[in-house]
Amino acid sequence: MPVFTPPDRSRPVALWLAGVATLVFIMVIVGGVTRLTGSGLSITEWKPIMGAIPPLNAADWNEAFQKYRAIPQYQLVNAGMSLDEFKFIFWWEWGHRQLGRFIGLAFFLPWAVFMLLRFAPPASPLRAWAMPDRLVWRTTALLALGGLQGFIGWWMVASGLSERVLVAPERLATHLGLAFLIFAALIWTALEAWHGESRNVPPAGWARGAGALLGLVFVQCLLGALVAGGKAGLVYTDWPMMNGALLPPVDWSQGAVAFLHDQALTQFNHRITAYLLLAFVTVYAVQAYRWRLAEGAGAGAYAVAAGVWAQAVLGVFTLIWSVPLWLGVAHQGGAAVLLGLATLNLWLVLRSQPRRFMSGPRSTGL
């Protein structure tokens, strides 16, 4: 007799989603290298299908180079760049876009198969591979978000093709923020596909705390994207002060746009939120220890706390060393890892039995 998995879960679906999440993480790393090498504007056109074919001969390369030479970034930043130097940044951006196309196929093709298997006969072993009912709308939403990400990516690039030498910081934050959102959603949905539906009702206080922690981590990721988009990490590279001052000068003549574009303010906001996040996660982890959080929820709390502290130290060194490529990429990748840990922590809290939270604090004096 064949053994079937419960209808609300699917291990093959879980493995597929975890694999796509891994690809998205790699995409975050590749995107970081693309940004830090100044490669993002090297391809000045958006061709979702034909753009997969790179220049194949000297005439094609010269045409692509001429288009790049027409934009402000070349004229104001890279004037005199050679064709070989252009090819270096071109290949990074082409690889970035190509990886995006590959991720799209890696999601869509298995998704279509898992959806079609829902129509297999009820007694067929193939039903064990079908998309569970409760995950249909979630995976469909993820597919739509992936398509939207392609449009957002071009919207971001377009902002740097005229009047600017860089993409608009708020558009970069939108692009990276959506990537992080998709990454977290893939992790969550993979966990749901592996374990099935939970009927536990965890204490509301811990659920709110874990949810607030995840939200604060995500906000910090967006603030970091504004810093990256505005090259704000290259100014005020001392710490804990900012050029010897507690509060750096801010150009308020921009109005509310200063929160998005002013280098001093975006870096200051990123620092202050980091301090708030450090305090929050430390208290959260201490309370998790005192209340003996079990079933993985305690380990999740400690992992997030360790991740926040490691990311903070990495951020300080990235700043004071003026964002070398390897540290900048590590810091961006660390943000994705931290978001994944915070997502896992919330999922574990929502899965834990209430009685595990109510055993009382340890008598440790903490």
Q: Is 43 exposed, middle or buried (0-12, 13-18, 19+ CB in 10 A)?
A: buried
% the chain with pLDDT above 70: 92
pLDDT in tens, 177-188: 999 999 999 999
Q: Is 293 exposed, middle or buried (0-12, 13-18, 19+ CB in 10 A)?
A: buried
**């699917």: which residue's tokens?**
10
d(CA 280, CA 267): 20
CB contact set of 35 (below 8 Å; sequence gap of 6+): 172, 228
In three-state secondary structure terms, 165 is coil
Average pLDDT over residues 332-359: 83
More confident residue, 336 or 301: 336
pLDDT in tens, 258-287: 899 999 999 999 999 999 999 999 999 998
C-alpha 115 chain-centroid distance: 27
pLDDT at 297 over 80: no
Closest CA to 218 of 55, 87, 340, 356: 340
Closest CA to 294 of 351, 343, 342: 351
pLDDT at 314 over 50: yes
**Mean pLDDT value across the chain:** 89
Dihedral through CA 246, CA 251, CA 253, CA 257, nearest 10?
-90
pLDDT in tens, 37-85: 999 899 998 888 878 899 999 999 999 999 999 999 999 999 989 999 9
pLDDT of residue 293: 63
DSSP state of 29: H
Per the structure block, which two tokens stand in for 334? Answer: 């660390």
pLDDT of residue 366: 37
Closest CA to 349 of 135, 204, 183: 204
% the chain with pLDDT above 90: 67
pLDDT of residue 365: 40
Average pLDDT over residues 227-233: 92
CB contact set of 231 (below 8 Å; sequence gap of 6+): 166, 263
pLDDT of residue 179: 97
pLDDT of residue 361: 55
Average pLDDT over residues 152-172: 91
Q: What is the CA radius of gyration of the chain?
A: 23
pLDDT band at 317 (very low <50, low <70, confident <90, very high): very high
pLDDT of residue 47: 85
* Residues 154/119, Cβ–Cβ less than 8 Å: no
